[in-house]
Structure 1
């Protein structure tokens, strides 16, 4: 956006003046397209959760809608329950909030990108960056996809003016460099510790 302070006017590809608002719309469109392409890296349950979150946030929705969406995303309502990302009750379905995740499920062999991200969010909100670095180290290959999903959810919440829901994702994005630093530091310390078998 600095270009708007340096030059008298900015011209688009058609030779017409490009306003700041038009530039922001274009930037957001390209960002959304880029983030949407990354969804292909997510597991079926996380792709389902992303669409469900866009429509319902952490609120309830109809079971029939959840089932229809699950078929389109290649999963099932029971698969979502088994993955521990939703609660289904009385004809309603809702995503579990980060505070509802069980810490012991970190070792779950069905760790979805959605759940990985929300374990990071929960750790940061409750215990801070150091504990989040421990979770980070425990997630392995899911970490990068979790970060991509975090950006996607933050962007979605911002666009829909859902500030309260955007806040935890923004906090994780802002803390990410420090969490990575702490995670690396902890990995070196753990690696340097002698094992009990020596």
Structure 2
């Protein structure tokens, strides 16, 4: 899928939003990709996951034991990636602020894990989730996501294969342009 194909999927589902958004990363943007809306249709979610799976090099794909994603944003695409790859899909939660497995989920010691995210901007949540997999006894061998908003700058410490890279500008709190600052802030992400 091309960037335009993916954006078309977001537009068709009302998932490409415009306004003033404070992202989960803490950065501000005039655009927000509401992945939950684009993934609410199972057929579309499966199509997107299959497109992501096709981007994973064969040598990495053949090593994957388990798919893991961080809650909340990664759960649906993580589940669909598990389906696309024929692997179990687990998710991490952070009810007390630190990611860990719950609900009886466990990794086999040394399990090779594919981390799955919806959107990566700064990579903070991804790095926290990768660290959690290590604490749980697994090893993240690669990460995939629907969208890379980092401008190709993110370093997760593992190979990263986003479906597309979309370069909507983001701003630190003290860099927000006046025209964006004039719009009321919406905080649609899962992190408080």
Task: Flag the structure with higher helix content.
Answer: 1
Greater gyration radius: 1
| TM-score normalised to structure 1 length | 0.26
TM-score, normalized by length of structure 2? 0.27
| Structure with the larger strand share | 2
